[in-house]
């Protein structure tokens, strides 16, 4: 079963309320409008990859936190039909694995429609990012550099550099995207946030 955009919104609202943040306070921290966040929480719109990064940074959590299904496993097996997903502006984001105990690696399958991307919303975040093109073409902007990824091409870079992507072709593009935050970054903060909920993200 694919996760609906409503579930992503419910997870966002839960995280916001757990931290005692109003819509306005979260908007001020992440740079999105109050209306945009409200629409996401109500399931009336789905966040873009850039918006997810902005929200995750503001809340001090990993981007995969929005897709969590409350598991705490040593091994996670995910069938294609069970991928948790979000879709916005021609970009489909599917989690390839979530629920590992103290998870630090965040794997996603990204499908980008022709002409779609996030060129107007370059993002930065903690850790490292790996991208591997499975189909089509993807233009990846990292800092001042431009890379054209074709089938089989890969990128590995420090995610603190501003980066964004788009599909310049006439066919959908697909890529594997891996985020690695490291034990000292926002995944540890997410674990600390889980403690009150489990004792009482």
Q: What is the pLDDT of residue 167?
A: 96
pLDDT of residue 127: 84
For each of the domains in the chain, give its residue range(s) and CATH number, in order of start. 5-199 (2.60.120.10)
CA 65 to chain centroid, in Å, comes to 9
pLDDT (0 to 100) of residue 70: 56
Q: What is the pLDDT of residue 192?
A: 26
pLDDT given at position 49:
79
Hey, what are 39's tokens?
A: 């629409």
Residues 6+ apart with CB under 8 A from 167: 112, 113, 114, 115, 116, 117, 136, 137, 138, 139, 173
Predicted TM-score (pTM) of this structure: 0.63
Q: What is the pLDDT along the chain (201 residues), one digit of tens a residue?
A: 344 444 788 889 988 988 889 999 999 999 999 999 999 998 888 888 788 888 988 998 877 778 765 556 788 888 888 888 888 889 998 989 877 777 778 899 999 999 999 888 888 887 889 999 999 999 999 999 999 999 999 999 998 899 999 999 999 999 999 988 664 444 323 322 232 322 333
pLDDT at residue 84, rounded to an integer: 81
pLDDT value at position 120? 81
Cβ(167)–Cβ(180) under 8 Å?
no
Separation in Å, CA 174 to CA 144, 155, 169: 24, 14, 12
Helix (H, G, I), strand (E, B) or coil at 58: helix
Q: Per-residue b/e over 71-104, b at no fewer than 16 CB within 10 Å? A: eeeeeeeeeeeebbbbbbbbbbbbbbbbbeeebe
User: What's the DSSP call for residue 3?
Assistant: P
Cβ neighbours of 50 (radius 10 Å)? 21
């Amino acid at each position: 079963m694919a996760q609906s955009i409503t579930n992503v919104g419910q997870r966002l609202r839960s995280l916001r309320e757990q931290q005692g943040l109003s819509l306005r306070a979260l908007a001020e921290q992440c740079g999105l409008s109050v209306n945009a966040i409200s629409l996401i929480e109500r399931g009336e719109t789905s966040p873009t990859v850039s918006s997810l990064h902005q929200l995750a940074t503001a809340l001090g959590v990993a981007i995969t936190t929005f897709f969590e299904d409350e598991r705490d496993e040593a091994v996670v097996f995910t069938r294609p039909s069970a991928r948790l997903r979000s879709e916005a502006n021609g970009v489909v984001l599917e989690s390839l694995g979530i629920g590992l105990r103290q998870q630090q690696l965040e794997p996603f399958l990204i499908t980008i429609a022709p002409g779609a991307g996030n060129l107007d919303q370059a993002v930065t975040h903690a850790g490292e990012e790996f991208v591997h093109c499975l189909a089509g073409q993807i233009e990846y902007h990292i800092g001042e550099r431009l890379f054209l990824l074709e089938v089989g091409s890969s990128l590995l870079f420090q995610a603190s550099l501003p980066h964004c992507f788009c599909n310049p072709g006439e066919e959908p593009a697909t890529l594997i995207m891996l985020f690695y935050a490291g034990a000292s970054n926002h995944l540890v903060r997410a674990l600390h946030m889980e403690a009150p909920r489990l004792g009482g993200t």
